[in-house]
Chain A
Amino acid sequence: MRTALLIARKDLRQRMRDRSAIVLGLVAPLLIAALMSFAFKGTETFHYQLGVVNEDHGAIATELVHALSSSTSRSILTVENLSSPAAARADVHDGHVAAALVIPAGFSAAVAQQHPESLSIVTSVNNQVAGNVTRSIAASFVAQIDADRLSVMTALAGGAPANTLNALSAKAATLRIPLQSVERPIGAGQLSAISYYSPAMAIFFLLFTISFASRSFFVDRTQGMIERMRAAPVRPAEILAGKALSVLVYGTLSLATVGVITSTAFGANWGSPFAAVLLGFAMVISVVCLTALVIGVARTQRQAEGFSSILVFGLALLGGNFIVISSSPPLMRTLALFTPNGEAMRGFSDLSTIGGGLGTVATPIAVILLFSALTGGAAMALARRAVS
């Protein structure tokens, strides 16, 4: 064990002396996470300016404008009164308002009549969401009026005498659509970009350790250092343990530093620290095993470099370190769960949104450890050959 520690310490010293290791392990993930955080600052809460042109000023129009400025709507939009439909189009075109609603003259008067006026929603291709939201709010507002008219028409069609139209209309006006919806937050935190990309980048650059460590192994071997160690009273297992230990320590340090800095300086939410630490540690273990696998499979330094870079980018792509995997098609979501980093990303996102502790990440941790056992086992058989 002492020898393993000695080898690990020597490896770490070399790693720390290598500027590119510092860049990849620390600077790069922090830089990119910071970039993400600045890029998305203020864009994660949805709010838009809605231009309203009220050419009607009738009772229902006033009610509609009221509804738009009500407390529920206020959180997603701010109403700005505009003078004319032309002004509304110009303002939407120029991006002064994200969308506009035009209430035509005579809207209130005609609303309950045979031929109601139409509301116009001015939209821009660059802000389709604002247009859609405006449309849905307006639709919900007129839904009751339309439902009342439909009720009367259905009654008449169903055999009610035509002369009862006015009475029916009066009665229908008191109705309320019996099926309403209410929005409820699930209490899960929002998965902010910084909370997703902090672990994503930390893990992505952690994966680079595979390249580094496997390369360093082959460099050691061509330099005759592995042979020198074996000429000393050192068991092959001790050499492997030392190498693994250095990857473990380096990986843990890199992941932990990025975790601490992103959560304190950039406000990333890594969830329960205890669970996050365990999950991160499991991820580091899988990196150790993958490194061993690369060392076992590759025969030369060049092969190791090739295998590991393909492995790193393949895993990062599949596991969702570049893109938010949950918004991808189900097949890719499933594939992601076959990678240790995909499982870890799932775990970290869950910690950040659903919260909870160890229970939340028990499955990811178990799967990552199983994955590690499989790769590590395969590596063990192969890696012994690499040492001897």
Chain B
Amino acid sequence: MRALAIARASTRRIIRDRTALFFLLVLPIIVIIIVGATVRGFSTFRVGVDSVGSGAAGQRIVTALDHSRGIDIAIYTDQKSLTTALARGEISVGVLLPAGLDAVESEAKPATVTIFAEQVNSAQQAAATAVSSVILGQGALVQSASFAAAHSSSSYNQALALATSLQGTTPHVGLRNVSADTSASTLPQGYSYSAPTELVLFVFLSALAGGAAIIETRRLGMYERMLAGPVRARTIIAGEALTYFLLALVQSALIIVVGAIAFGVSWGNPLAAAALVITWALVGAGAGLLSGTLFRTPEQASAIGPTAGIALAMLGGCMWPLSIVSTTMREIGHVTPQAWAVDAWTSLLSRHGTITTIAPQLGVLAAFAVVLLSVSSLRLYQRLR
């Protein structure tokens, strides 16, 4: 099978190229680690606290914040570094505990805690409301202790201890969470987010950039040499397509294995995942061949290829979930194959999807693969003739 020989030669050339290997194998893993480490903790708010001079009462609030579920605190020692951290987005919200908070307890003097947050920022708003209810909870204790100290024989501190122990058992207006049973429209956070999206991104991007190899081979006159022998143009096309398909599969397999073993990503239904990986590798092979016929020089392919790959990945929801963009952008995004692939992965990872549930996406992706492969084969065929 001569196509296999061509694929072997092409693959060998790519594997010998250490830079290509870096982009094929190392870079995706690094990106998965970085993005995975960053896209986590949406459910925990990072709260910066400046409690300098707020005394024991202030310390109690810090402890209460620290013990609240969904809040991570970071201590700052002056207001400027607190607001700077907030401005830079290193914390979701800044809490400034006023000096002399103890007076609230000793002299029953009302005090106000400043929460630095911007009204227009959703994450900051959510964090601010969470912080605010913790503070009100602490305030409730102070109010109860002062009230009890005034109307009973207990001292303030005794009453505070009493109030703290009673807070859990005293009946209160409950807040019940009712889930609307919506199915998740986004991928889970952390590595389960970064691994599938980067898989979609890199397989496509590497293929586009890899088109340079086809142009190079053409320039070197290798195709002419092959055609001078008893090799048909379609055998060459098959060989090259096979190369890109195999590389895409290897890259996908690496990401899946590393994702599963090192980062604990559960890739969902194995059959469906395998079908998706294979279909996506076909799309990648088509894109690689197309890039090899679309650009004139290898430099163009390796410059424009990654740019186009990144742009399509952005449109298609590999860089951020399409659920956060406007409806128009979401619709535009589904012009790219990436959007359908991410949708399918979301179904597999977030909604226990099976091959039946992702059948529509697989269908669309298969159509993409057929169109890309046939258009690029045709173009390559014309160039070889």
Chain A residues touching B, majority SS: helix
- Residues A118 and B180 in contact in the complex (CB < 8 Å), given A181-B112, A184-B116, A354-B84: no
The reply to whether the CB of B130 lies closer than 8 angstroms to some CB of chain A is: yes
Residues of A near B310 (CB, < 8 A) are 32
Q: Mark A95-137, 1 if CB is under 8 A from B, else 0.
A: 1000010100000000100111111111111101101110111
- Give a binary string over A38-49; 1 marks a CB under 8 Å from any B CB, 0 the rest: 111111111000
Do B175 and A121 touch (CB < 8 A)? yes
- Expressed in whole angstroms, the minimum distance between the Cβ of B331 and any Cβ of chain A is 12
How far, in angstroms, from A317 to B141 measured CA to CA in the complex?
47
Do B175 and A139 touch across chains, with their CB atoms under 8 A apart? yes
Of the candidates B88, B142, B162, which one forms a contact with A346 in the assembled complex, judged by CB atoms under 8 Å apart? B88
A361 within 8 A of B: no
Q: Mark A133-166, 1 if CB is under 8 A from B, else 0.
A: 1011111101111111111111111111000100
Which of A5-13, A16-24, A249-257 lies at the interface?
A16-24
Find chain A residues with CB under 8 A from B176 CB. 118-121
Contact of A31 with B30 at beta-carbon distance under 8 Å, contacts A20-B303, A39-B329 already known = no
A182 at the A/B interface (Cβ < 8 Å)?
yes
Query: In the complex, which of the residues B121, B123, B151 contacts A155, with contact meaning CB atoms closer than 8 Å?
Result: B151
Residue A248 at the chain B interface, CB threshold 8 Å: no
- Is the pair A132, B174 in contact by a Cβ cutoff of 8 Å? no
Asked whether A123 and B171 contact (CB < 8 A) given A151-B148, A184-B116, the answer is: no
Residues of B close to A140: CB separation below 8 A: 129, 132-133, 136
CB of A310 to closest CB in B, whole Å:
6
B19 adjacent to A306 (CB under 8 Å): yes
Interface check B354, CB cutoff 8 A:
no
User: In the complex, which of the residues A118, A182, A215 contacts B175, with contact meaning CB atoms closer than 8 Å?
Assistant: A118
A327 and B133 contact, CB distance less than 8 A = no
Cα-based distance from A20 to B297 in the complex (angstroms) = 9
Q: Which of A53-97 contact B (CB under 8 A)?
A: 75-76, 85, 89, 92-93, 95
Judge if B315 is at the interface, Cβ distance under 8 Å.
yes
The residues in B between 100 and 130 inclusive whose CB is less than 8 angstroms from any CB of A are 104, 108-123, 125-126, 128-130
Question: CB within 8 A of B119: which of A132, A152, A183?
Answer: A183
Question: A222 contacts the other chain (Cβ, under 8 Å)?
Answer: no
Q: Does B115 contact A158, Cβ atoms closer than 8 Å?
A: no
CB atoms of A350 and B325 under 8 A apart: no
Which of the segments A169-177, A227-235, A261-269, A379-387 contacts the partner chain?
A169-177
CB–CB A133/B126 < 8 A: yes
Chain B residue nearest to A113 (CB atoms) is: B171
Hey, which chain A residues are within 8 Å of B299, CB to CB? 18, 20, 215
> A328 and B94: CB pair below 8 A?
no
Most B Cβ at <10 Å: residue of A18, A76, A121, A147: A147
A-B contact count (CB 8 A): 353
A372 within 8 A of B: no
Interface size class on chain A is 35 or more
Pair B166/A154 contact, Cβ less than 8 Å: yes
Check if B291 is an interface residue, CB within 8 A of chain A: no
Binary per-residue interface labels of chain A (207-231) against chain B in the complex, 1 for a CB within 8 Å, 0 otherwise: 0100000010000000000000000
Chain B residue, CB-CB nearest to A156:
B152
Q: Please tell me if the beta carbons of B182 and A349 are within 8 angstroms of each other in the complex.
A: no
Q: How far is the CB of A298 from chain B (nearest CB, A)?
A: 11
Q: Please, how many angstroms separate the alpha-carbon atoms of A177 and B144 in the complex?
A: 9
The verdict on A32 contacting B311 (CB below 8 Å), with A132-B129, A133-B125, A178-B146 known, is yes
| Assembled-state Cα–Cα distance A85/B292 (Å) | 58
Chain A residues positioned under 8 Å from B66 (CB to CB): none
* CB nearest neighbor in B for A90: B180
Does B43 belong to the interface (CB within 8 Å)? yes
Given contacts A41-B326, A157-B162, A179-B110, contact A326 B180 (CB under 8 A): no
| Of B87, B133, B326, the contact of A143 (CB 8 Å cutoff) | B133
Q: A20-B303, A39-B320, A116-B174 are in contact. Are A146 and B140 (CB under 8 A)?
A: yes
User: How far is it, in angstroms, between the C-alpha of A186 and the C-alpha of B357 when the chains are bound?
Assistant: 47
Q: Does A323 contact B (CB under 8 A)?
A: yes
- Give chain B nearest CB distance to A148 CB in angstroms: 8
B55-97: which have CB < 8 Å to A?
A: 61, 83-84, 86-90, 94
Given A124-B182, A129-B122, A332-B38, A136 and B133 touching (CB < 8 A)?
yes
Partner of A139, one of B94, B136, B149: B136
Whether A158 lies near B152 (C-beta < 8 A) is yes
| Known contacts A157-B166, A186-B118; 5 further A-B pairs (Cβ under 8 A) | A46-B122, A123-B178, A133-B125, A178-B109, A179-B104
Contact sample, A vs B, 17 pairs, CB 8 Å cutoff: A100-B180, A121-B176, A123-B180, A126-B185, A139-B133, A144-B136, A155-B147, A158-B148, A158-B149, A158-B152, A159-B152, A180-B110, A180-B139, A184-B117, A190-B121, A310-B22, A332-B38
